[in-house]
Amino acid sequence: MNYMNREIILDKIESEKGLWDVVVIGGGATGLGAALESVTRKYKTLLLEKSDFSKGTSSRSTKLIHGGVRYLQQGNISLVFEALQERGILKQNAPHLVHNQAFIVPIYDWWDGPFYGMGLKVYDLLAGKLGIGKSKILSKAETIEKIENVETKDLRGGVIYYDGQFDDSRLAINIAQTINENNGVAINYMEVNSLMKTSNMISGVIAIDKETNKEYKIHSRVVINATGIFTNNIIKLDQIDADDLVTLSQGIHIVLEKKFLKGNSAIMVPHTEDGRVLFAVPWYDKVIVGTTDTKVNEPLLEPKPYKEEIEYILQHAQKYMSSAPELCDIKSIFAGIRPLIKPRENKNTSSISRDHSINVSKSGLVTITGGKWTTYRKMGEDVINQAALIAGLEERSSITKSFRIKKKKKRFR
């Protein structure tokens, strides 16, 4: 049976006149994680995505399953610990999509060697049993051997460490398939444009099939808002004057020919002069370089890179690559917007925590914000714990720590 056949899925929604246990709005990492958690606890689950699965931020990441060396620098040990555990779990659950990637921090100032060497030892320790390789200080010769065209002027050596690399869109598709194969329903091109209420409490959603314009009234015990950068729009359907829950920060990547980063190792620059992180990572037969952190005001499904962002990346890439890439070397650019938890005070977006947060409105709308791809499973577990309480669902334990996301042969139609 083709579990992703649209007609079969629509029939299932049509014939399901009764109540869903859980309806999830949004088919990015967060919504897919929530729906997977829900079906594996055997709750009747429906996920609605208005575009393609992972069309939003979830297909525009740096494609790393990582603890986040930068968050270690910021002192957010609990986030790094959680993400490193999730890195190990995901590697076990989706081995066909997550593999080990070596990263090298090139060292140009003598004090950076011991500093990053120590920091990355802490990173190894936090990963514990789920570690994927030990970090090590490299000599100048070893660094050049691993990254043939690293900038050698003033180079003193490097530090090598390991993280995970994955294919974000493929993982999203495999999770959607896994949801549908486990008695859940995940459907795309279905846009939620209003919330239904009974006695002032959320009792479902109204969604439009974007292929036929047909409207569906869908009843549910609980509704989860997992719409990333569109979160504020959905909470305003619930309560028109609700305070915003997310703030938006754009990040772009440029794609270059592989000749700009020879060998299999990636370059990681933990601290550019304005405090950002820069990655140059082999990606299939190309190399991706990013990213930026630019505050934006409007949530867009197809965001555009700013000229200054492209210049910023080129300028920094040129410092670490011996043959410096120019504008004309860029093969393509992709931009994504981070749905960050809105902090109380006005902060620089790069310093806002990448933790996740769950908010329940007075009428029972459950909204999950923040987080990252790496922690999508834990986010799902946490939001379903909360949603099950709101919906009064039977308490069931999570099994997703050891639930395999299988490689699927069948193609989408």
* 3-state class (DSSP) for residue 202: strand
Tell which positions 190-219 bind ligand FAD, by CB under 6 A. 191-192
What is the token pair recorded at 367?
Answer: 């909204």
**Which residues are within 8 A (CB) of 316 and not within 5 positions of it... i.e. 6 or more apart?**
269, 272, 278
Of the two residues 203 and 292, which places its CB atom closer to ligand FAD in the complex? 292
Largest CA distance in the chain: 71
Of the two residues 40 and 294, which places its CB atom closer to ligand FAD in the complex? 294
Binding of residue 373 to ligand FAD (CB under 6 A): yes
Binding of residue 31 to ligand FAD (CB under 6 A): yes
The residue from 41, 338, 342, 408 that contacts ligand FAD (CB under 6 A) is 338
Of the two residues 162 and 230, which places its CB atom closer to ligand FAD in the complex? 230
What is the rounded CA–CA span in Å between residue 189 and residue 208? 8
Q: Which of 37, 82, 73 is nearest to 370 (CA)?
A: 82
- What is the total count of residues that contact ligand FAD (CB under 6 A)? 39
Binding of residue 374 to ligand FAD (CB under 6 A): yes
User: How near is the Cβ of 331 to ligand FAD at its closest, in Å?
Assistant: 17
**Which residues are within 8 A (CB) of 104 and not within 5 positions of it... i.e. 6 or more apart?**
138, 143, 146, 147, 150, 158, 159, 160, 265, 266, 267, 268
Contact status, residue 66 vs residue 118, Cβ threshold 8 Å: no
User: How near is the Cβ of 407 to ligand FAD at its closest, in Å?
Assistant: 21
Binding of residue 123 to ligand FAD (CB under 6 A): no
Binding of residue 157 to ligand FAD (CB under 6 A): no
What is the token pair recorded at 241?
Answer: 């004057």
Count of C-beta atoms within a 10 Å radius of residue 295: 14
Q: Is 148 exposed, middle or buried (0-12, 13-18, 19+ CB in 10 A)?
A: exposed
The residue from 38, 40, 45, 58 that contacts ligand FAD (CB under 6 A) is 58
What is the token pair recorded at 53?
Answer: 């699965």
Binding of residue 227 to ligand FAD (CB under 6 A): yes
Binding of residue 70 to ligand FAD (CB under 6 A): no
Binding of residue 365 to ligand FAD (CB under 6 A): no
Tell which positions 248-307 bind ligand FAD, by CB under 6 A. 251, 291, 301
Q: Is 358 exposed, middle or buried (0-12, 13-18, 19+ CB in 10 A)?
A: middle
Report which DSSP code applies to 321.
B
Binding of residue 86 to ligand FAD (CB under 6 A): no
The residue from 40, 45, 62, 400 that contacts ligand FAD (CB under 6 A) is 62
Q: Which stretch binds ligand FAD (CB under 6 A): 14-22, 155-163, 304-312, 336-344?
A: 336-344
Count of C-beta atoms within a 10 Å radius of residue 328: 5
User: How near is the Cβ of 32 to ligand FAD at its closest, in Å?
Assistant: 7
What is the token pair recorded at 187?
Answer: 């459907």
Using CB atoms, what's the residue nearest to ligand FAD? Answer: 28
Q: Is 330 exposed, middle or buried (0-12, 13-18, 19+ CB in 10 A)?
A: middle
Q: Which stretch binds ligand FAD (CB under 6 A): 44-52, 122-130, 137-145, 151-159?
A: 44-52
Q: Which stretch binds ligand FAD (CB under 6 A): 37-45, 51-59, 144-152, 308-316?
A: 51-59
Binding of residue 63 to ligand FAD (CB under 6 A): yes
Binding of residue 352 to ligand FAD (CB under 6 A): no
The residue from 67, 228, 282, 380 that contacts ligand FAD (CB under 6 A) is 228
Residue 152 φ then ψ, to 5°: -95, -15
Residue ranges binding ligand FAD (CB under 6 A) = 25-31, 48-51, 54-58, 60-64, 191-192, 226-230, 251, 291, 301, 336-339, 371-374
